Structure 1
Amino acid sequence: MDNSVGGKLEYADVVRVDPITQKQQRYAEVIGTEPLRQTSTTTTPRQVCNDVVVQERLPERDGNVGGTVVGAVVGGLLGNQIGHGNGRKAATAAGAVAGGFIGNRIDQNHVGGRVVDRTERQCHTENSTAQSSTITGYNVTYRNDDGTTGTMRMDSKPGSRIAMGTQDVVKGYDVTYRYDGQEKTVRMDDRPNSDRLPVLDGRLVTQTASAGDVAVSQR
C-alpha cells in the first residue's frame, strides 16, 4: 500500500476499548427564580387612655346630727327672747328642744347632695394586629447542557448557575490490541473508529494528521 512515509503497513486487531473517566462537577443554567413567601399575623396588646367628664353627687349630710344641732340653736335663741327670769330659761330650753326636733325632720326630708362634674382618666386594652411576609425559599427553574429543563426548591437565591452533582467525563481510552500474536495496550485520546489499528513498520499508528503525516506509537 502506498503512503506518505513509506514502509510496510499492516493492521492490529482491537481486542478491547476501556474508557478512562474522571469525576467532574456538573452545572445547569438558571433560567428563572420564584420566591416562596410565608405570611404571619402578630397581635400586640396596648393600653389606650382618655380623659372623660363624669358626674358625681356630693356626700349626704347626717340627718340625725346636722339638722338637730342647727334647729336646737335657732330654737334656743328664739326662746331666749320670751319671758323673764326662770320663765326665760324655760322658754329657751323649750325653744331648743322644739327647734332641734323641727331641724331633724327637715334634714331627714332632704333629697341627696349636689351633683358636680369632674374629669376622670379611663383606660382600656386594645389589640393591634400586623402582618409580615418572610421568604422561606425559592423555586428555581434550570436548563441542563442537553437542553432539558427542570425545577427544584432551594433555601437561598442562586446565581447564574447551580451545581447538579458530579458526572463521569471521558478523558481518554485504553485500547487493547493484538499484533503478531501479542496483546498490548495503548492510551488514546479518541475512541478508535474501527476494529483495526494500522501498524507501520511494526509500530502502531495511533493518529493520522490532516496533512497525511502518520503519528506512530513506540509500542
Structure 2
Amino acid sequence: MSAARVSMAVTGVLLAGVALAGPPRYERSASSEYDYAPVTHVEPIVRQVRVETPNRECYDEVRQVESRPHISDPEVGVRTLVGGLIGGVIGHQFGSGRGRDAATVAGAVVGAGVGYDAGARRSASVREEIVQRCEVRYEKRYEERIDGYRVTYEYNGREYTTRLPYDPGERIRVRVAVAVAE
C-alpha cells in the first residue's frame, strides 16, 4: 500500500470520528481553588452567661442536750427500788391467792417504772453542746463569654462577612469556585 493511500485512510477515519462525536460539549462542573483574602474587621460575638459557684459556709450552733442518767446512778437506783416496793405493797392489797401474787408483781413492775422515771427526771441534766452546721450556698454572677467572631474580609474588590469560631488574624483562607456561565 502506498503512503498516499495510508494517509487518506487515516484522514477518513479521523473525519468519521469527528462527525460522529458531534459538537463539543462542556460539562457544568465547578472547580474549586483556595486563595487568601485580607481581613478588614473582626468583632467578637459576646454573650452573657450565668455562672454559679458553690461556697460552703459553716457556723457553730449551740444545742441543748438532755442527758438521762444511767441505772447505775445511785439516786435513780434508789427511786426505782422504792417505787417497786411501794407498787408491790399496793398491788398486794388486791386479789387473793394466785391473783394476789400476780397483782403484787404487776404493782412492783409499775412502781419500779414510775420510780425510775421520777429518779431520772430529778437527776437529768441539761448541757449545752456546740455543733458545727454547714450549708452550701451558690454565688451567682454573670460573665461575658466569646461565642465566635464576626469577620469581614475583602476579595476581588467586594466585601464579605462571615462568622467563625476563632479570630483568623490578618488574612483568611477562602475557597474560590469557578464555573462556566451559559
Calculate the TM-score normalised by the size of structure 2.
0.42
Structure (1 or 2) with the greater helix fraction: 2
Structure (1 or 2) with the greater strand fraction: 1
